[in-house]
Structure 1
């Protein structure tokens, strides 16, 4: 079966005037238009293509790589809004349609929106939805505490910043754990800080507990090396000053410099911290 919205490797069956016809060995065929035909090919070769419906609602293949495929979340730009809905740039000649009913907030031309791409079973068209939460599932978790995960920043809330975890689960970075500026659509590494009742997942952009000492100690060392071996920061500095300079909390900073002091890599006094050179 040739699957819409996915990349597939198909066999080149024959060369025709409009392009190459590709097949999957099960009798299913799709056209690869001339504009996408490679300079050199042989009948019987396998070629990787993306499958979608063109503007005439015909099944078609392309070698172009779209910005989003079925089952993914991505930030896309709105090219146009009509009486039917919004049309988003997905990196292909065909635009991705987002009906009004699938818009969390009314989309506007030129705006950027985080959307999920899915296949509408009735029309067999790829469709976008900015109501992303309904495509996430926290009933059965596939992550554990202290595990490193891929996160996609979803939307802000009064508590902090909501994120999508491994394209599967919803999570939250509390304001107290936001030590650097993040934006909707950012893809980052995170750590599962805690799983609360109801499978609510707290995410940290930092390592947890003792796991954080070594990488943050190295971060302090790098900062000192970039600043002639000295920083006026110490354990008496304000949390704001530490956050601005190192993008970490004061608690994390104190642990990091404590570890460096113990290893005799820095000295600490009222003026700040200084790199000890051997």
Structure 2
């Protein structure tokens, strides 16, 4: 199985004004699947405070909460005023702008991930302007989790599960606006043909692969976060257009729909 076919990211869509196609990621959670998805273009999900009392209404407003649209209530929150990202729009696209060294969002509720029986899909549409290490999205807690980040001329995924297994893949691609995807089939043994990483249409290659204790990835009592590895903000700026984490069987159609949808949120044709 090739990485390209495994990820199912072959469909093309002409983004017009950043409008997504007729696909609703909420359908991927219809049976109560674990995970979350976030959409800064939906102002009804954005609040200036973590208590969710004051809605975001205008370009430049701070964001203390972005609601999880999956129904799982894994909302991304920030209680500290000075550590909140900013909602931005050009009238077509919508995004959260994180200032390095200060801003981060993290789920208040915890989740546990065990993909020994279900596929694990994680995607983030984001932008970086620095070739230094930039954290885009994580599922993580101290010592374990999945990290999508860019550094130099590569985008990377690193996964460390609760048994201490470590796995990394890198895709050679210039720092810019991209949709990065990590996909782990149910009970996958972490080798080059199973756990897959792709940035737009560029496949990642394995750069580190410990011998796993068992197939699948397991994380207990963890969080989804933006612009942070754990609880401290990344030192570089990052822009977030949307993202998803879901634990379920993902068909090629499902994966292609996600790529097209979230890519369009960032103005990409994928």
TM, length-normalised to structure 2 = 0.26
Q: Give the greater-gyration-radius structure (CA).
A: 1
Structure with the larger helix share: 1
Larger RCO (CA within 8 A; separation ≥ 6): 2
TM, length-normalised to structure 1 = 0.25
